[in-house]
A and B are shown apart, each in its own frame.
Chain A
Amino acid sequence: MATSDIALDQQIETLYTDHRGWLGRWLSKKLGDPHQASDLLHDTFMRLLAREEVLAIQEPRAFLTTVAQRVLANHWRRQKVERAYLETLALIPEAKVPSEEERAILLETLIEIDRLLDGLSLPVKRAFLMTQLDGLSHAEVGEVLRISNTTVKRYLLKAAQRCYFADVFPNT
Chain B
Amino acid sequence: MSAESIRYADQLAGAAPIPAEVAQKAIEWLIDLQSIPVAPSLLEAWKRWRAAHPDHERAWQRIESVNGKLTHLSAPLNSAIAKAALTPSKSPKRRQAIAGIAALLFTGSAAWIGRDELRWQTWTADERTAIGERRTLTLADGTTLHMNSNTAVSIAFTQNERRLRLIEGEIMIATAKDLSRRQFLVETAQGEALALGTRYTVRRQEALTEVAVYEGAVQITPRENASQALVLNAGEQTGFTRADIAKSGTADSEKAAWTQGFIVARSMRLADFLVELNRYSERPLRCDSAVADLRVSGSYPLADIDLVLETVALALSLQVETITRFWGMQTVSITLAPNARSGKKSG
Contact call A131/B34, Cβ cutoff below 8 A: yes
Contact with B along A76-105 (1 / 0, CB 8 A): 000001001101110111011010000001
* Alpha-carbon separation in the docked complex, A36 to B262 (Å): 51
Chain A, residue nearest B328 (CB): A135
Q: Which of the residues A114, A132, A137 comes within 8 Å of B327, measured between beta carbons?
A: A132
Contact call A129/B86, Cβ cutoff below 8 A: yes
Contact call B27/A133, Cβ cutoff below 8 A: no
* Alpha-carbon separation in the docked complex, A126 to B18 (Å): 27
Q: Which residues of B contact A160 (CB under 8 A)?
A: 27, 30-31, 63
Total interface residues in chain A, CB < 8 Å: 46
Q: Which residues of A contact B70 (CB under 8 A)?
A: 113, 132-133
CB under 8 Å from chain A, chain B span 296-312 = none
* Alpha-carbon separation in the docked complex, A164 to B89 (Å): 25
Most interface-central of A88, A93, A126, A153 (chain B CB within 10 A) = A88
Contact call B7/A92, Cβ cutoff below 8 A: no
3 closest residue pairs by CB, A with B: A135-B328, A84-B85, A133-B79
| B-to-A contact residues, CB < 8 Å | 2-3, 7, 17-20, 23-24, 26-28, 30-31, 34-36, 59, 62-63, 66-67, 69-70, 72-74, 76-89, 95, 98-99, 102-103, 105-106, 326-331
| A-to-B contact residues, CB < 8 Å | 81, 84-85, 87-89, 91-93, 95-96, 98, 105-106, 109-110, 112-114, 116-117, 122, 125-126, 129-138, 153, 156-157, 160-161, 163-169
| Supplied contacts A126-B87, A135-B328, A164-B63, 18 more A-B pairs, CB within 8 Å | A88-B80, A91-B84, A91-B99, A93-B106, A95-B106, A106-B72, A113-B73, A114-B85, A129-B79, A133-B82, A134-B74, A134-B329, A135-B74, A160-B27, A164-B62, A165-B59, A165-B62, A167-B17
